[in-house]
A and B are shown apart, each in its own frame.
Chain A
Amino acid sequence: MGRKAKFDETKKVKKGPGRKARKQPDPVFKKELLIDETTTEKKLTHRQKQRAAKRSKKKAEIVEKRKALKQAKKNVAKQTEVVLDNDENDSDEEIAKGFTDENKEWLKPKQKVSKKQKKPVAADSDSEEGDDDVDDDGSEVSEQSEAEEESDVEENVKNKAGKKKAGGEKYKVGTLDDLFKDSDVENGDATSEDENESSNKLEYDSDSDDEEKGSDDDDDDDDDMLPIEKANIKLKKKQKEDKKLSEEEMQLNIAKQDVFAFPSEHELQNPTSLQDVLQRIKDVIHVLGNFSNLKEEGRSRCEYTDLLLQDLCTYYSYNEFLMEILMQIFPVQELIEFLEASEVARPVTIRTNSLKTRRRELAQALINRGVNLDPVGKWSKVGLVVYSSTVPIGATPEYLAGHYILQGASSFLPVMALAPQENERILDMCAAPGGKASHIAAIMKNTGVLFANDANKERTKAIVGNFHRLGVANSVLCNHDGREFPNVMKGFDRVLLDAPCTGTGVIAKDPSVKTTKDQKDIQRCFNIQRQLLLAAIDCCSAKSSTGGYIVYSTCSILPEENEWVVNYALKRRNVKLVPTGLDFGTEGFVKYRHHRFHPSLKHTRRFYPHTHNMDGFFVAKLKKFSNVIPEPFKDEDDEDIEAKQNGDDQTEEETPKTEDTKQAPVKRSAPTDASQPQKKKNKIDAQTSPSNAAQDVKTIESTEKKGNNKKKNKNQKKNKKNKQNMDNSTEVKVNNADNKSSSGKTETANKPQNENVNKKNKKNKQNMASSTEVKVNNADNHSSGGKTETANKPKTENINKKNKKNKGKQNAVNGSPSLKNESASVTPTQNKTEVVQNNQSPNKKKNKKKKGKNQSPNPQSQPINKNENKITEKVEVAAATKLKEKLNKKKKQIGQINPNKDKKPAKGQPGKNFKKNKA
């Protein structure tokens, strides 16, 4: 916007004081400057001219050189050099030669002839080529001719002279093209045709612009080269290239083979750098890809995979256990992709809260705040991916106002699979921190009822915050152990179970997973997951008109936590797998190692970080078709198998406590975290005991022990006589029975008892011999059972205390207190049986003095609840001394048990139980 220069000097700006003061005059330019630049040439000095001439010469040379290079013919190059040697003038002359009027006439006939002959000529050259090249077909010839015909048609529009030149050039160009084409790759018919046409046209234009240069060289080449020569050159070149390539390949192969020699022990123990390890990983993968050819002599595939495992562990810093499992899940190449993807964080995604805003509005608002985002994909209408942001995405006013929530893309999937409907009653069993649950509420549009449950009270605060922030008003938040939830409420239309898992799908989020997980953790996880899933299925109502669906999801990719758990539930509940409604993701495994899952497991969906760019995830959708809980008898086999498979590993924690695996299965049934208060259990027992006590006894060994001395005796016998396997099987059955009974409380109640028993067992073990230990353990179990059940009755406790004091350390025999406990526990549930048991217990206490019925001892024997711990200690101390006594007792007890049995059947259920036990 500067001043406007007035180049026209005729207009003179007014001069004067006032003018000057106001405005600067326009700039004045010298006349010379205003003259056209064309005149400047005149001012060139002689030397300058010379230089300019040289420059132009050089330019021409370069152009020609390039063309020569293009042709890539040595002969041609020579010719061009020759041409280059000539002066510009010469070349001009040549040009003049080529395109004078005289030549025109000369060209015309040639053109005409060529037009007629063109085809034959072209055919000649091509046919020659065809002769030389095995690859060339006659089809090319026809294409060529077609192209020329077309070009002819075009030419009609233009001048004749132009036609001729163009035609001639085209012809040449066409042959050149052919050459190049051949040297490169043979194109398809259509493409080659097109190329011909287009190239012809292009050449035509360029030539018409500057007719001389291009035509010069071409003329020269064509003049000097016969088609057969060209073909020959081309062929030679091609052969050369082939040879070169094959040599390179050979060397590459050799190199690769040379690169990988199986490292020595020393090398393995002293890794030099991560780079080397990475290289070795690549090499090993290469070898594994073509094992039969590339393997080193005398090396097995196993060795290579082991090496790979080691290297992957070091390079990606996993522990061997997890890496081994991952190697079982993925093929090698995919494994690497997975590991790489697990190193990188997934993109941040947010979910629009459709209760408060719409995605477009939210996106606009966030863009205004400097957030760079995009829709997450066509599959979701509420998801947005955040690429970058100038503000903290978790603290914008929009976020605080509840317009969106930070949520991984994978977390949308289970809710989408659940497909909640309005006015339904829905349960989210493991809801914290409320992302999926609020998604459900948003889809329901705040209608119906949403139960959000989480076992961790601290984490429920996050649900409260998120729900209120997002404006979810139809929710009930509660803090139950999910496994107990069927006791709280049933009849939900849909249930979402996003089970706690090892988190092997979200290694990018929490890298500690790499090193901290082992078999024990996985077993703990899938045990809980199984129980949760069964509970979730129990909560769901098959009679719901709109629902009856359960969605099970984890952020783990291990089949143990996914397919296996679902498969387990399929066997134990009347559910079937249905398609998740997610149109992407990979199908779940039907086979995994030695497992053969139900074929319908293909309806489940797996998501991987490396293929779907979201966290590793698993989603299964189940439909419940009957509220009846099927008999678990069929499953016994499976259970046994599983128990054997897992038994060793599953109960790692437990096994140390119990010397033998005998009790391990019992523990397995009981979850590891039995943190539930005993009061509840006791209450529950008290409530259910009159009716269900017998069932409980049947179901769980510990309860059995509590309930009946007979059972104890049997168990003892079994322990002594039977093998561990037997115990396992029986225990498994017991577990099944638990599931059937569906009384979560009873199960949970038993868990702590078992733990106690275990502890006691340990102590006992230390002190006692193995055989005797078994007995002691049983006794201990009895006592523990007694504790829990009797806890409710203070009177009995007091009595027990008294008894203890009275009998003092003399009676501290292991067997006696335990027996007392048992009897006490039984008493509340079964009146008559209790009496009988009590009778037994006193007998035991007194060391078999009284086999008959002693009602008086009953009140005394009942105690022990609070004192159990003390008692156990005493028991431990005295255990050794009374082992022999116990042996004797057992025999007597067995005898006593029979009368008990007779009495028990009178009450009904308990009697059945006993029968079963006997059987």
Chain B
Amino acid sequence: MKVLSEERTRILFEKLTKYIGVNVKQLIDRPDGTYCFREKKDRVYYISERILHLAQTVKPDHLISAGTCFGKFTKTNKFRLHITALSYIAPYAPYKVWVKPSSEQQFLYGHHIIKSGLSRITDNTPKHHGVVICTMSDIPIGFGVAARTTAECRHADPLATIVFHQADVGEYIRAEDTLT
């Protein structure tokens, strides 16, 4: 559990900003205590400082995880968000995409969202901005990157990709071993 370097902090927050915009600061300034980002084996954990203090008593070799894992830094020093961050991204995300019940399952198996599976999309979604994918009952099931703007979606081909898949909750089953 070490503090993120300046460089990595910047990369992390740039990435987070893509998904939740200015709400990033709400992750830092919380009424229920101070929270911080810590790095362990290239994984970034978001954790309350109170818990962090206790977690530091556990030897690093024996510490599996603490708080919430947000993602990891790749070997090329890029940050990749994991599905485990969804519970913090979803409430703050300004842009969302709702999928039809028929295409929920498709998305949960790791496919992109195509126009025919699209039910709703937030207005003014810019291209290549991070979006959170929800079911029609407003359950967040993943996130991705908008392939088209809202306006373009209207005239898109039924098979055209609207959202590029990045992470979905199906990974809890498909990739349990690599979650963190």
Closest residue to B50 on the A side, CB-wise? A449
Whether A464 lies near B64 (C-beta < 8 A) is yes
With an 8 A cutoff between CB atoms, is A476 at the interface?
yes
Q: Does more than half of chain A's interface fall in helix, strand or loop, or is it mixed? A: mixed
Q: What residues of chain A lie closer than 8 Å to B140, measured between beta carbons?
A: 401
Q: What residues of chain B lie closer than 8 Å to A474, measured between beta carbons?
A: 48, 51, 67
Residue from A402, A463, A476, A489 whose CB has the most chain B CB atoms within 10 Å: A476
Encode contact with A along B55-67: 1 for CB under 8 Å, 0 otherwise: 1011100111111
With an 8 A cutoff between CB atoms, is B176 at the interface?
yes
Complex CA distance for A474 and B179, rounded to whole angstroms: 18
Whether B179 lies near A464 (C-beta < 8 A) is yes
With an 8 A cutoff between CB atoms, is A365 at the interface?
yes
Closest residue to A472 on the B side, CB-wise? B68
The count of residues in chain A whose C-beta lies closer than 8 Å to any C-beta of chain B is 33
Whether B58 lies near A478 (C-beta < 8 A) is yes
> Smallest CB–CB gap between A779 and chain B, Å?
36
Q: What residues of chain B lie closer than 8 Å to A479, measured between beta carbons?
A: 62-64
Whether A465 lies near B68 (C-beta < 8 A) is no
Whether A449 lies near B58 (C-beta < 8 A) is no
Complex CA distance for A394 and B58, rounded to whole angstroms: 33
Q: A449-B54, A461-B177, A476-B55 are in contact. Are A397 and B108 (CB under 8 A)?
A: yes
Q: What residues of chain B lie closer than 8 Å to A461, measured between beta carbons?
A: 176-177, 179
Q: What residues of chain B lie closer than 8 Å to A401, measured between beta carbons?
A: 139-141, 169
With an 8 A cutoff between CB atoms, is B87 at the interface?
yes
Q: A395-B173, A449-B50, A462-B176 are in contact. Are A468 and B64 (CB under 8 A)?
A: no
With an 8 A cutoff between CB atoms, is A477 at the interface?
yes
Encode contact with B along A854-895: 1 for CB under 8 Å, 0 otherwise: 000000000000000000000000000000000000000000
Whether B66 lies near A475 (C-beta < 8 A) is yes
Q: A403-B139, A489-B57 are in contact. Are A460 and B108 (CB under 8 A)?
A: no
Whether B51 lies near A468 (C-beta < 8 A) is no
Whether B63 lies near A478 (C-beta < 8 A) is yes
Q: What residues of chain B lie closer than 8 Å to A286, measured between beta carbons?
A: none
Q: A401-B139, A474-B51 are in contact. Are A465 and B62 (CB under 8 A)?
A: no
Q: What residues of chain A lie closer than 8 Å to B87, measured between beta carbons?
A: 402, 468, 471, 473
Complex CA distance for A394 and B68, rounded to whole angstroms: 23
Q: Does more than half of chain B's interface fall in helix, strand or loop, or is it mixed? A: mixed
With an 8 A cutoff between CB atoms, is A324 at the interface?
no
Closest residue to B84 on the A side, CB-wise? A468
With an 8 A cutoff between CB atoms, is A425 at the interface?
yes
> Smallest CB–CB gap between B80 and chain A, Å?
15
Whether B65 lies near A464 (C-beta < 8 A) is yes
Whether A476 lies near B58 (C-beta < 8 A) is yes
Whether B169 lies near A489 (C-beta < 8 A) is no
Complex CA distance for A394 and B169, rounded to whole angstroms: 13
Interface residues of B in 121-157 (CB under 8 A from A): 135, 137, 139-141
Closest residue to A458 on the B side, CB-wise? B177
Interface residues of A in 461-517 (CB under 8 A from B): 461-465, 467-469, 471, 473-480, 488-489
> Smallest CB–CB gap between A651 and chain B, Å?
30
Whether B104 lies near A477 (C-beta < 8 A) is no
Q: Which of B68, B139, B141 has a CB less than 8 Å from the CB of A468?
A: B68
Q: What residues of chain B lie closer than 8 Å to A400, measured between beta carbons?
A: 108, 141, 169-170, 172-173
Residue from B57, B64, B170, B180 whose CB has the most chain A CB atoms within 10 Å: B64
With an 8 A cutoff between CB atoms, is B118 at the interface?
no
Q: What residues of chain A lie closer than 8 Å to B180, measured between beta carbons?
A: 464, 468
Whether A489 lies near B51 (C-beta < 8 A) is no
Whether A477 lies near B65 (C-beta < 8 A) is yes
Q: What residues of chain A lie closer than 8 Å to B179, measured between beta carbons?
A: 461, 464-465, 468
Whether B66 lies near A476 (C-beta < 8 A) is yes
With an 8 A cutoff between CB atoms, is A398 at the interface?
yes
With an 8 A cutoff between CB atoms, is B44 at the interface?
no
Whether B172 lies near A397 (C-beta < 8 A) is no
> Smallest CB–CB gap between A401 and chain B, Å?
5
Q: A460-B64, A468-B179 are in contact. Are A476 and B173 (CB under 8 A)?
A: no
Q: What residues of chain A lie closer than 8 Å to B66, measured between beta carbons?
A: 475-477
Q: What residues of chain B lie closer than 8 Å to A469, measured between beta carbons?
A: 169, 172
Q: What residues of chain A lie closer than 8 Å to B172, measured between beta carbons?
A: 400, 465, 468-469
Complex CA distance for A461 and B175, rounded to whole angstroms: 10
> Smallest CB–CB gap between B57 and chain A, Å?
5
**Given A397-B135, A468-B84, A479-B64, 14 other A-B contacts at CB below 8 A?**
A400-B141, A400-B169, A401-B169, A402-B87, A451-B54, A460-B64, A461-B177, A465-B179, A468-B179, A473-B68, A473-B87, A474-B67, A475-B65, A478-B62
Binding site for A on B (CB under 8 A): 48, 50-51, 54-55, 57-59, 62-69, 83-84, 87, 104, 108, 135, 137, 139-141, 169-170, 172-173, 176-177, 179-180
26 A-B interface contacts by CB (under 8 A)? A365-B137, A397-B104, A397-B108, A400-B108, A401-B141, A402-B169, A451-B54, A461-B176, A463-B64, A464-B64, A464-B179, A468-B69, A468-B83, A468-B84, A468-B172, A468-B180, A474-B48, A474-B51, A476-B63, A478-B63, A479-B62, A479-B64, A480-B58, A480-B62, A489-B57, A489-B58
